[in-house]
Amino acid sequence: MLGTIIQQVFNALTIGSIYALIALGYTMVYGVLRMINFAHGEMFMLGAYAAFVILTLLIGDIGNAGVVILALVFFAAVIVVGLIGVGVERLAYKPLRHSNRLAPMLSSLGVSLSLVTAVQIVAGPQPIGFPSFFPSTRFDVLGGTVTSVQIGILIAALVLMVALYTLVNRSRAGIIVRAVSESRPTAQLLGINVNLAISLVFFAGPVLGAAGGILYASYYGIMSPTMGAVIGLKAFTAAILGGIGSIPGAMLGAFILAFVEVAGTALLPALTGGLLGTEYRDVLAFAILILVLLVRPAGILGEPVSEESMVYKREF
């Protein structure tokens, strides 16, 4: 029993850290632009494809890549996707910044479809096997099986999240991003380079999302052009659950969502006498999304938006 619990906890932590990496991108973009970037799930997918392409180009035989090469490929791939993220913002969202708030969101839906289709045309619509970025060994932890891939994902995700946290809270770039998130008009008035802050966010978000994609593809050993769709929505759910706009909220929401999913999947068949099976995993996640939106739209750590604060911040 203890072994099963430990194993499930590790499953939840693994998938939770991947959700967290993606959710951070949703929440940061919402922070600076108050928009939902529906193309963000595709950054996750592009991460896996970019890593695969670079790996294949660098060394034909994927099986024999050393640790250093793999790390380099990882960083090269996430940076490429980060640059794609910046480019997407410049091309598809920036021209719409001063129009209706819905316009950039609709544009992001279009970007999402275009990216999926582009990858389908170039790489084919069928799933492709993905090499693991981590050596595959199994450990026995108090009766439960934990794989080295899981440990690797946890460590990589943790390092990236600590790096982001430090960047946002300790660096000058982080200060201007937070300033722009709080009030774009005030930031502009002070002469803060708002475009730079927005580009930074559209770089950092896709970098983390792409990292999530590489880790996810390593975990399951497979990638496909549509892999970002459902995971993207789940991470979006996590961001809403934690409070969209809040960075700690996105991480918290991701882990809560992962634990609920894993626990639900394990317990649902037993609790309902086999009526509801493990296939209800996704339903569970989106039931949470609907519940949060109904009961507490601001999420766990989000600030409730009061009428007063809206009026106060809108104009000088």
Partner 1 sequence: MVLGPNGAGKTTLLNSISGVARPTSGTILFDGNDITGARPEQVVRMGLAHCPEGRQIFQRLTVEENLVAAHVGRAGKSFEALRSDVFDLFPILKERRNGMASRMSGGQQQMLAIGRALMAEPRLLMLDEPSLGLAPKIVQQIFHIVLDLSKSGISILLVEQNVQLALECGDYAYLLNNGTVRLHGPAQELAEHAAISEHFLGGASETLLHG
**Residues in contact with partner 1 by the rule CB under 8 A:** 172-173, 175-176, 178-179, 182-183, 185-194, 196, 312-313, 316
Nearest distance from C-beta of residue 88 to partner 1, angstroms: 24
Provide DSSP, 196-220.
Answer: HHHHHHHHHHHHHHHHHHHHHHHHH
- What is the DSSP pairing of strand 144-147 with strand 138-141? antiparallel
Nearest distance from C-beta of residue 252 to partner 1, angstroms: 18
In the bound state with partner 1, the residue whose beta carbon lies nearer, of 137 and 188, is 188
Contact between 175 and 161 (Cβ < 8 Å): no
In the bound state with partner 1, the residue whose beta carbon lies nearer, of 137 and 171, is 171
- Residues 6+ away with beta carbon under 8 Å from 207: 78, 79, 81, 82, 85
In the bound state with partner 1, the residue whose beta carbon lies nearer, of 6 and 173, is 173
d(CA 91, CA 244) in angstroms, rounded, equals 24
Nearest distance from C-beta of residue 309 to partner 1, angstroms: 9
In the bound state with partner 1, the residue whose beta carbon lies nearer, of 174 and 212, is 174
Minimal CA–CA distance to 216: which of 10, 8, 19? Answer: 19
Nearest distance from C-beta of residue 186 to partner 1, angstroms: 5
- Residue 246 is given by DSSP the state -
Nearest distance from C-beta of residue 311 to partner 1, angstroms: 10
In a 3-state reduction of DSSP, which class is residue 305? Answer: coil
In the bound state with partner 1, the residue whose beta carbon lies nearer, of 106 and 190, is 190
Q: Which two tokens stand for residue 250?
A: 């996105």
In the bound state with partner 1, the residue whose beta carbon lies nearer, of 188 and 278, is 188
**Dihedral sign, CA of 217, 167, 297, 264?**
positive
Q: H-helix or E-strand containing 252?
A: helix 247-271
